[in-house]
Chain A
Amino acid sequence: MEEETEKKKESPIIQVRNLYKIYRVGETKVFALNGVDFSLQRGEFCAVVGPSGSGKSTLLNMMAGLEKPSKGEIIIAGTHIERMTEKELVTFRRENVGFIFQSYNLLKTMNAVENVALPLSFRGVPKKERLELARKYLKLVGLEKQMNHMANEMSGGQQQRVGIARALVVNPRIIFADEPTGNLDSRTTKDVLNLMRRIVRKRKQTLIMVTHDNYLAGFADKQIHIVDGKILKIEEQHHEDEEEL
């Protein structure tokens, strides 16, 4: 039954079915996620929007394999994430996932190029090759001049660009971004979001962004509104490539 419906369209890259996350606080149960269902296609830019405490970050973390769901299924590219061991999850992330953090999380001891090359080194890419790739992606995000700057020698926007380059360099199928512009001013925010959307669309990668800001969510093709662990509504809108260039 399911397979038939999947075959009608292009099979979704991410399927979330009936997902629950329950925390126990003393005697009471807290439903961080309370039965969430949705699916995402390849190349989609999706924003998960909701007020703080709505469970949007929990959802993201579970999709990235950082947290185990209490119940339900997460199927990414045909594999069940929730059944994987921690070791398998690490491998899965290494091969398929890019991650952009709110607070950038660059390694302070490394310069921009080395930071971008770091995930490649986890894959065992030789040094010369990975530095070359890292430079290429830094150029892509517009940081030709800051290549050899240390993390703390750059502005927030620049650091986040390095973070984006680091997520993109492994050529992941899915990119997760947790409040990627949370620490940036509005102008930089717009730049960064446009940059992400442009690159992801060009490369047919799936981007999932968590934010509490409805305006920022407006950049996405699909908005999933979450309140109290439940999906309130899913909005889709199409942006023309040209308008944000």
Chain B
Amino acid sequence: MRFLDLLVMSINNLRRRKLRTALTVLGVIVGTASIVVMMSLGIGMSEMQMELMESYGSMTAINVYCDTYSQPEGGQDPVYMTDEIIEQFRQMEYVDGVSPLLNVSVMMRQGQYTASYVNLVGVTEDYMEQIPVGEGRHPKMDGSEVELLFGNMVLQNFSNGKRGGSYYETGELPDVDLMGKPIFVIYDMDAYYQSMNGGTGTDGTAVKAPKKYLVPVAGIVEGGENDYNQYSWEVYTDLEALKTQLKKIFKKGVIPGQPTNKKGKPYPYFIYSNAVVYVDSIDHVKEVQTAISDMGFQASSNSEWMEQNKKQSQMTQMVLGGIGAVSLFVAAIGIANTMMMSIYERTKEIGVMKVLGCDMGNIRNMFLMESGFIGLMGGVIGLILSYSLSYLMNHLPAVTQMMMGMGGMDGSISRIPPWLAAAALVFAVVVGMVAGFFPAVKAMKLSALSAIRNE
């Protein structure tokens, strides 16, 4: 029998009993919609949580930390993160990029406003490109010149040198124009304070006030003055340019923040206390993290936290989906019942078809198609219903307000990703066919003789 003929026959059989078909389909509609809506709530919640987590830092980044102060005692060389180690990280499998963080505390000035202990961080391009820029552009990364990218909250550090009164006291942002007017940077803060207080250096001469450097500002990190993100409090610049600059300023001296050997002399290379390793996908974070820990560094990432969270949200989704599944299960029973009824009604018809030479497989497939079709119709209409319910939930003011109350998360609480919609459709059809399977086999095995005798 041709597939099309079979299909037409199945559909005609369904059309014959419109009310019963409609009622059975209604069951599937409710079942599908409840699964989809429940799942969409679960997905919405977990995605919102993910978004929240992502605002605290990338999911695929591993923070590597090397404590420069608690190094092993004894003669052996301390394990420091040097450029060489960074290069080793970069060669590891699954690693997309690495950036050491060279932290220098500096002082910044513009007009009357001064900010001390501003954390200037030298990073590589891998890191820099992760930072979203709100105003201006990323600093140039060719190592030629130090350009600054200000965190969006750094401005709060500036205080008026003469009047005093920082942002924390007054609540007013200092009148510093980062993009418009020049910013001066004093790298050698120790020397600055010593010169201010009339201190003397190791050789007894008075410390000269350190040089101020005019540094161009390339941009400001995205976000308002109160929108915290992980880049808010630092000032970023190109690592190579910063290294060159620092070497030029401190020459053979100790660069602040860099460890010294036992004799108090600086190492001839830069030592980083922090680095960030970017892994290609979330699945490999753990592996890379372990490898780095084995090298003797402390590594941490969001992945553990996230994994826990993932498990939790999976649980939530399963519970929610389970509640929905119950109603689809009830709908499946409805389908099975309808099909059974249909077989009893059509016993004779099935018998006649068998006597006339209709293949047994065809009879089974016809019934399977009918039940599958009930599933499909229910699935499609159920999906439409789900989308409208989802839209309602996301746009009803009452719901949005409740959401804001629940920890200030915003975004849609009910999300139906395409895979969920597709899966729901397939699932509805499969449920229909599974429910119709035993009736269909029963129909197939019906004895033609007793069927036609059944007068």
Tally of contact residues, B, Cβ under 8 A: 23
| Bound-complex Cα distance A67 to B452 (A) | 12
A122 touches B358 (CB 8 A): yes
- Distance from B430 Cβ to chain A, minimum over Cβ atoms (Å): 27
Specify the chain B residue showing the minimal Cβ separation from A118.
Answer: B356
B355 touches A93 (CB 8 A): yes
Specify the chain A residue showing the minimal Cβ separation from B352.
Answer: A105
* Interface-located stretch among A31-39, A83-91, A133-141, A202-210: A83-91
> Which of B348, B356, B358, B449 is within 8 Å of A61, CB to CB?
B449
| Bound-complex Cα distance A243 to B348 (A) | 38
| Bound-complex Cα distance A107 to B9 (A) | 12
- Distance from A224 Cβ to chain B, minimum over Cβ atoms (Å): 21
- Distance from B451 Cβ to chain A, minimum over Cβ atoms (Å): 10
Report A-chain residues with C-beta under 8 Å of the C-beta of B355. Answer: 64, 66, 93, 99
Knowing A101-B452, A105-B452 touch, does A121 contact B12 (C-beta < 8 A)?
A: no
- Distance from A28 Cβ to chain B, minimum over Cβ atoms (Å): 22
Knowing A121-B1, A122-B362 touch, does A101 contact B357 (C-beta < 8 A)?
A: no
Specify the chain A residue showing the minimal Cβ separation from B357.
Answer: A94
Report A-chain residues with C-beta under 8 Å of the C-beta of B358. Answer: 90, 94, 122
- Distance from B441 Cβ to chain A, minimum over Cβ atoms (Å): 13
A109 touches B (CB below 8 Å) = yes
Tally of contact residues, A, Cβ under 8 A: 28
| Bound-complex Cα distance A127 to B449 (A) | 28
Q: How many A-B pairs fall under 8 Å by CB?
A: 61
Specify the chain A residue showing the minimal Cβ separation from B4.
Answer: A127
B449 touches A86 (CB 8 A): no
A103 touches B (CB below 8 Å) = yes
B357 touches A119 (CB 8 A): yes
A86 touches B357 (CB 8 A): no
A166 touches B356 (CB 8 A): yes
B410 touches A (CB below 8 Å) = no
Report B-chain residues with C-beta under 8 Å of the C-beta of A86. Answer: 360
Knowing A61-B449, A109-B16, A124-B2 touch, does A99 contact B356 (C-beta < 8 A)?
A: yes
| Bound-complex Cα distance A103 to B354 (A) | 16
Report B-chain residues with C-beta under 8 Å of the C-beta of A101. Answer: 352, 452
Report A-chain residues with C-beta under 8 Å of the C-beta of B349. Answer: 107
> Which of B2, B12, B357, B455 is within 8 Å of A90, CB to CB?
B357
B1 touches A66 (CB 8 A): no
16 A-B Cβ contacts within 8 A?
A64-B355, A66-B449, A87-B359, A90-B354, A91-B357, A99-B355, A101-B352, A105-B352, A109-B13, A109-B16, A121-B1, A122-B359, A122-B362, A124-B2, A126-B2, A166-B356
Extra 15 A-B pairs, beta carbons < 8 Å, given A99-B356, A107-B352, A123-B357: A66-B355, A87-B359, A87-B360, A90-B354, A90-B360, A91-B359, A93-B355, A94-B356, A107-B349, A109-B16, A119-B356, A121-B5, A122-B358, A126-B2, A170-B357
